């Protein structure tokens, strides 16, 4: 089945209100609630004094009414007695260049190197698992909430000491670290690991230093979560995940290696639905099990105030249907009923604190009805792709601290939109897998690897070379293969692997964005727009597909092609526009459709084309044969219209 539901906070409501909310959920077709994530003080009022009665009651009454539960561990918000027991637990942050101790005021306060909090986290998780882990209504666990190195992590003396241990384990000797980081520039050489302090956040720090600090903080969070998962598994076999925001600076792949189900929270704006599809094409590749959307906004999002405006009529329906179409099995709203007080009174909800329904309630009913009609078809099919687009956590971190180009100069929040808008968005009518560099490559025919700064990340360079030799087509660049995994450039050649693999020699490396260059195909002479740098090549053992037109690069090779074994390597010195990119891919779309329609093909015993209109205006899909419209219950062919925020599920006849 598919799980459609909402976050719920029973610790805020008396039992009569809970009963009313259960009826409200049933009336909308909701079948899942997510509870417990901030309720530590309710579960354990004093150390060792546990009380899970209200949560068992809610799970019982929900299950009796056909509603399942995802249980959350409350480690994001330890109660005040925890901080009194461990006064050195508070996370240290920065206010400008001054280090400060964070106060207990919202959430994510604890330092993650503190052994005391880790013991208490594991204990509350295990006690929850003992008391509730085998409830018949339990379908899964969520650990903590939106884990991430907020404010660049904790900067206390304990974290600084652990960071030095991390560096010593990685680099072995201080001489090796100095050599790798080239610290004699600006006379930054370290005499010992004891000399190294955490880098001040968002200041002009050495990129290698900052990348390693970020990687260290992420490693702390991974073990913080995995320890709780281990405690839960002592008494419960339900799948475990942690709800992460969409930002691969904190590696989804590494975190989820220790968990069972990929969980995701998203709040993209109404004009950013195409970016949300990118997310799902990524999560789908991380586990064999379907991913879960554990939070999305019902109508609008916010904090102290509402943000980004109310989503237009129909948006909620497509926003909620998209993860199911793209390979997920859950969509939960944050939240069901607005909090009566606290930090997020401006956030949208399915019902207000007074029990008044949101205007999006009918779209939730429509979603439930759609899944009743199409759910069996979707369950029997899967999204399969022969085309992959790399999305490397190492690259995100490298460009985060050494952005090279201005479009990446926004710390961790610019890489994803840039790679989506420049590359992914060309494939609205294709199945695409968005992959980490550790993914097995054998199932793909084409791999597009732009902005893959460290090409040998997770052994990708060696593996992709063998994959090409066996018949694959690699399209790499721009700004690929130009760094190590700690944001240092190569010194023997511009690209460490791609020059030899692509049969080229880099003549000019210009990672600049200028509007006075264009490119044109050598065959046909047609011009196209370019972006994201201008690397020019000598074709040593390759064919020139396109040349630059403009100023000093006039006539130089911009795109090269080489046969390698049974396969092909294409090197991009610049990012071609979407039309030119599709020409390079040379692969037919699922169908012809308007640009505002996102297409997905699902394959199984019966093949289905899913067409979702994502921009709130009329669209169409052109069919080359007859299909059965599952929702409309009729046969269609030729040009089929799609209403604003409408959906078509078309079964091959």
Q: Name the pairing type of β-strands 619-629 and 634-642.
A: antiparallel
Interval 367-385: pLDDT, tens? 999 999 999 999 999 999 9
The per-residue pLDDT for 51 is: 98
CATH of domain 592-652: 2.60.40.1180
Q: How far apart are CA 69 and CA 57, in angstroms?
A: 12
pLDDT of 270 above 80:
no
Which residues fall within 8 angstroms of residue 608, CB to CB, at 6 or more apart?
Answer: 377, 378, 381, 601, 602, 630, 649, 650, 651, 652
Phi and psi (nearest 5°) for 315?
-60, -45
The DSSP string of 348-412 is: --SB-TTSPBPTTHHHHHHHHHHHHHHHHHHHTEEE--SEEEE--HHHHHHHHHS--SGGG-BTB
pLDDT of 586 above 90:
yes
% of the chain exceeding 70 in pLDDT: 100
% of the chain exceeding 90 in pLDDT: 89
Residue extents of the structural domains in the chain: 3-152+238-375, 387-585, 592-652
The structure tokens listed for 407 are 């479009």
The per-residue pLDDT for 106 is: 77
Interval 493-522: pLDDT, tens? 999 999 999 999 999 999 887 777 899 999
The per-residue pLDDT for 105 is: 76
Interval 512-558: pLDDT, tens? 877 778 999 999 999 999 999 999 999 999 999 999 998 789 999 99
The per-residue pLDDT for 427 is: 98
Which residues fall within 8 angstroms of residue 541, CB to CB, at 6 or more apart?
Answer: 503, 504, 562
Interval 89-132: pLDDT, tens? 999 988 877 788 888 777 888 999 999 999 999 999 999 999 99
Q: What does each C-alpha distance from 515 to 92, 507, 549, 640 come to in angstroms?
A: 44, 21, 11, 39
pLDDT of 307 above 90:
no
Interval 47-77: pLDDT, tens? 999 999 999 999 999 999 999 999 999 999 9
Q: How far apart are CA 411 and CA 358, in angstroms?
A: 36
What mean pLDDT comes out for the span 404-431?
Answer: 92
Which residues fall within 8 angstroms of residue 41, CB to CB, at 6 or more apart?
Answer: 77, 79, 80
Q: Name the pairing type of β-strands 240-241 and 138-142.
A: parallel
Q: Please report the sign of the dihedral spanned by the C-alpha atoms of residue 268, residue 424, residue 278, residue 320.
A: positive
pLDDT of 410 above 80:
no
Alpha-helix residue ranges (DSSP H) falling in 115-206: 115-132, 157-171, 174-181
What mean pLDDT comes out for the span 323-350?
Answer: 95
Q: Which residues pair with 4 in a beta bridge?
A: 331
The per-residue pLDDT for 203 is: 77
The per-residue pLDDT for 292 is: 98
pLDDT of 243 above 70:
yes
The per-residue pLDDT for 200 is: 85
- What CATH fold (topology level) applies to the domain 387-585? Rossmann fold (3.40.50)
What mean pLDDT comes out for the span 257-278?
Answer: 92
The structure tokens listed for 312 are 């237009």
Give the three-state DSSP class for 328.
strand
Q: How far apart are CA 119 and CA 458, in angstroms?
A: 32
Q: How far apart are CA 608 and CA 613, in angstroms?
A: 16
Q: How far apart are CA 66 and CA 220, in angstroms?
A: 38
In contact, 502 and 571? CB cutoff 8 Å? yes
In contact, 625 and 653? CB cutoff 8 Å? yes
Q: Please report the sign of the dihedral spanned by the C-alpha atoms of residue 92, residue 95, residue 96, residue 97.
A: negative
The per-residue pLDDT for 198 is: 95
* Mean pLDDT, the chain, whole residue set: 95
pLDDT of 160 above 70:
yes
In contact, 44 and 37? CB cutoff 8 Å? no
What mean pLDDT comes out for the span 297-301?
Answer: 90
Work out the pLDDT band at 412, boundaries 50, 70, 90: low
CATH class of 3-152+238-375: alpha beta
Question: For residue 318, what is the enclosing H or E element?
Answer: helix 315-325
Q: What does each C-alpha distance from 11 to 32, 58, 345, 597, 613 come to in angstroms?
A: 17, 10, 17, 42, 39
pLDDT of 202 above 80:
no
Q: Which residues pair with 6 in a beta bridge?
A: 33, 333
Work out the pLDDT band at 306, boundaries 50, 70, 90: confident
Q: How far apart are CA 437 and CA 251, in angstroms?
A: 11
């Amino acid at each position: 089945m598919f799980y459609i539901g909402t976050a719920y906070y029973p610790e805020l409501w008396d039992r009569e209100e809970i009963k009313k909310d259960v009826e409200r959920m049933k009336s909308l077709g909701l079948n899942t609630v997510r509870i417990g994530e901030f309720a530590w003080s309710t579960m354990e009022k004093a150390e060792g004094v546990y009380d899970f009665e209200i949560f068992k009651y809610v799970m019982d009454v929900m299950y009796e009414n056909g509603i399942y539960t995802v249980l959350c561990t409350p480690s994001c918000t330890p109660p005040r007695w925890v901080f009194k027991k461990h006064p050195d637990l508070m996370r240290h942050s920065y206010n400008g260049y001054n280090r400060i101790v964070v106060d207990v005021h919202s959430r994510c306060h604890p330092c993650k190197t503190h052994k005391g909090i880790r013991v208490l986290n594991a204990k509350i998780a295990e006690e929850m698992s003992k008391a509730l882990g085998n409830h018949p209504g339990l379908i899964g666990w969520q650990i903590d909430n939106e884990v991430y190195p907020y404010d660049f992590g904790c900067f206390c003396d304990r974290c600084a000491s652990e960071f030095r241990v991390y560096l010593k384990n990685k680099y072995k000797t201080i001489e090796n670290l100095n050599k790798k980081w080239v610290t004699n520039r600006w006379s930054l050489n370290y005499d010992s690991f004891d000399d190294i302090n955490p880098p001040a956040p968002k200041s002009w720090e050495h990129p290698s230093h900052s990348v390693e600090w970020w990687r260290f903080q992420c490693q702390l969070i991974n073990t913080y979560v995995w320890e709780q998962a281990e405690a839960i598994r002592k008494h419960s076999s339900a799948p475990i995940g942690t709800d992460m925001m969409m930002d691969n600076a904190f590696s989804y792949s590494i975190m989820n290696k220790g968990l069972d189900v990929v969980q995701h929270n998203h709040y993209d704006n109404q004009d950013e639905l195409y970016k949300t599809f990118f997310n799902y094409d990524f999560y789908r590749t991380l586990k064999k099990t379907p991913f879960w959307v554990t939070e999305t906004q019902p109508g609008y999002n916010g904090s102290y105030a509402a943000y980004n405006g109310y989503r237009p009529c129909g948006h909620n329906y497509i926003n909620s249907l998209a993860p199911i179409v793209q390979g997920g099995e859950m969509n939960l709203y944050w939240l069901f009923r607005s909090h009566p007080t606290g930090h997020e009174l401006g956030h949208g909800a399915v019902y207000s604190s007074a029990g008044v329904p949101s205007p999006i309630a009918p779209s939730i009913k429509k979603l439930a009805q759609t899944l009743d009609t199409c759910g069996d078809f979707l369950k029997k099919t899967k999204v399969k792709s022969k085309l992959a687009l790399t999305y490397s956590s190492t690259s995100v971190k490298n460009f985060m601290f050494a952005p090279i180009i201005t479009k990446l100069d926004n710390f961790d929040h610019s890489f994803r939109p840039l790679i989506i808008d420049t590359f992914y968005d060309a494939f609205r009518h294709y199945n695409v897998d968005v992959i980490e560099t550790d993914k097995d490559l054998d199932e793909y025919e084409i791999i597009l690897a732009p902005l893959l700064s460290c090409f040998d990340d997770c052994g990708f360079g060696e593996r992709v070379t063998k994959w090409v030799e066996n018949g694959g087509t690699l399209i790499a660049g721009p700004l690929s293969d130009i760094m190590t995994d700690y944001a240092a450039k190569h010194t023997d050649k511009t690209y460490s692997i791609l020059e030899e693999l692509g049969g080229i020699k880099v003549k000019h490396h210009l990672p600049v964005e200028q509007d006075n260059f264009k490119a044109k195909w050598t065959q046909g002479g047609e011009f196209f727009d370019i972006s994201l740098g201008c690397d020019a090549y000598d074709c040593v053992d390759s064919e020139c597909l396109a040349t630059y037109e403009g100023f000093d690069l006039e006539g130089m090779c911009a795109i090269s092609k080489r046969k390698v074994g049974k396969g092909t390597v294409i090197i991009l010195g610049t990012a071609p526009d979407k039309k030119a990119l599709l020409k390079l891919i040379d692969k037919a779309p699922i169908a012809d459709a308007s640009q505002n329609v996102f297409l997905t093909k699902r394959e199984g015993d019966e093949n289905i084309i899913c067409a979702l209109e994502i921009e709130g205006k009329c669209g169409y899909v052109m069919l080359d044969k007859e299909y059965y419209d599952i929702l409309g219950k009729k046969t269609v062919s030729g040009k089929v219209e799609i209403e604003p925020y409408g959906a078509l599920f078309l079964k091959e006849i």
